[in-house]
Amino acid sequence: MEEIKKCPYCGEEIFAVAKKCKHCGEWLDNIAVVPEKKMTVCPACAEEIEVGLNVCPVCKTPLVRKQEHIYTESSSSANLPNYWLLSILCYVAIFFEIISTIQDFGLKSTSGKYGFLVSIANFIPEWVTVIVCGTLLICVLLGLRNHYMIENADKPAPFIALICLFIGCYFINLISVFSSDEDLLSQLFRIAAIPLFLATSILEFIVALKLKERLKDASMVAIAMIISAIVPILSLIVGFGMSEEGELPWWATIIDLGVSVYFFYILQLFFSKKNAELTNKQ
């Protein structure tokens, strides 16, 4: 049976292969093929309308704002960080910060409550500890940046610049591991570390202020970052000022450890909370 179509001029039924309408006599060869329109349902009046319209032709409701909201929501969901993994990395970072402090003190394996940690610190090379601590800090900062950008994509904060400065600090720390105190290169890097450390603390303080202002749910994280930016630099200044041998006192190292542990602990609580909220929504 031959397929039937309607003549675009008179609307009468003709054969699909016809070149000329037998009813109105019009030729059909020069007719451009009109693509079928994609249709959707208006979210306001539920009438069937053409896709891509800015205003519903039936109820006159604007449609652009609704479509932009849907796009923003789906885009934000796609960029959500892995909160569960970030919370685990915070625990690992606390562990390696403790190991790094033990290595700074140069403790040897002892029996007792902390003998196990001292044994681990003696087993792990110091340069490995520096690399792991730096990598973990960068990972959690990137995760925090991704969470920040979900709601503040139009108001970026200098997270990347801060991460680059932290990389520079850990690089100098790594150089000092492989060189002696009398080495000229090590002394030059130590001199360069002072302005780099100051710049890192200032930028960390700026990022913390932006977090506190724009992310109400991250106020504790912002406070922890402010403490992390101010306290170590103060302990460094006071420690070298009180030291007669030009070495950092033991209490300054303990303060730095306490600040780092507190910072990662607050981050762990924050990421765990966000992971629980995301799980409940699903």
Query: DSSP readout, 106-159?
Result: T----SSTTHHHHHHHHHS-HHHHHHHHHHHHHHHHHHHHHHHHHH-TTS--SH
- 100 CB contacts (<8 Å, ≥6 apart)? 126, 129, 130, 133
Indicate whether 101 and 161 sit together in one domain: yes
Helix (H, G, I), strand (E, B) or coil at 15: strand
Q: What is the pLDDT of residue 72?
A: 40
Residues 249-268 have pLDDT tens digits of 788 889 999 999 999 999 99
Q: What value does the mean pLDDT take over residues 82-93?
A: 94
Q: What is the pLDDT of residue 43?
A: 77
Indicate whether 115 and 139 sit together in one domain: yes
Task: Indicate if the pLDDT at residue 155 is higher than 90.
Answer: no
Give 66's pLDDT tier (boundaries 50, 70, 90): very low
The total number of residues shown for the chain amounts to: 282
Give 73's pLDDT tier (boundaries 50, 70, 90): very low
Q: What is the pLDDT of residue 244?
A: 62
Indicate whether 140 and 232 sit together in one domain: yes
Q: Exposure of 235 by Cβ count < 10 A (0-12 exposed, 13-18 middle, 19+ buried)?
A: buried
Task: Indicate if the pLDDT at residue 81 is higher than 90.
Answer: no
Residue with the larger pLDDT of the pair 49 and 29: 49
Task: Indicate if the pLDDT at residue 89 is higher than 90.
Answer: yes
Final residue in a domain of this structure, among 78, 107, 139? 78
Indicate whether 121 and 105 sit together in one domain: yes
Instruction: Give the distance, in angstroms, between the CA of residue 264 and the centroid of all CA atoms in the same chain.
Output: 15
Indicate whether 20 and 73 sit together in one domain: no
Share of the chain above pLDDT 70, in %: 80
Q: What is the pLDDT of residue 69?
A: 41
Residues 195-253 have pLDDT tens digits of 888 899 999 999 999 998 888 888 899 999 999 999 888 887 787 677 666 567 788 88
Instruction: Give the distance, in angstroms, between the CA of residue 73 and the centroid of all CA atoms in the same chain.
Output: 17
| Vertex 104: Cα angle to 261 and 85 (nearest 5) | 35
Indicate whether 2 and 136 sit together in one domain: no
Q: What is the pLDDT of residue 224?
A: 93
Most confident segment among 18-32, 101-115, 250-264: 250-264
Q: Are 200 and 169 in contact (CB under 8 A)?
A: yes
Task: Indicate if the pLDDT at residue 67 is higher than 50.
Answer: no
Give the separation between CA 173 and CA 110, rounded to whole angstroms. Answer: 27
Number of folded domains in the chain? 3
Indicate whether 263 and 146 sit together in one domain: yes
Indicate whether 1 and 132 sit together in one domain: no
Task: Indicate if the pLDDT at residue 174 is higher than 60.
Answer: yes
Indicate whether 20 and 154 sit together in one domain: no
Indicate whether 245 and 116 sit together in one domain: yes
Average pLDDT over all residues of the chain: 80
Q: Which domain holds residue 120?
A: 81-281
Nearest CA to 148 among 73, 228, 89, 207?
207
Share of the chain above pLDDT 90, in %: 30
Give the separation between CA 85 and CA 189, rounded to whole angstroms. Answer: 34
Indicate whether 212 and 133 sit together in one domain: yes
Indicate whether 42 and 121 sit together in one domain: no
Q: What is the pLDDT of residue 86?
A: 94
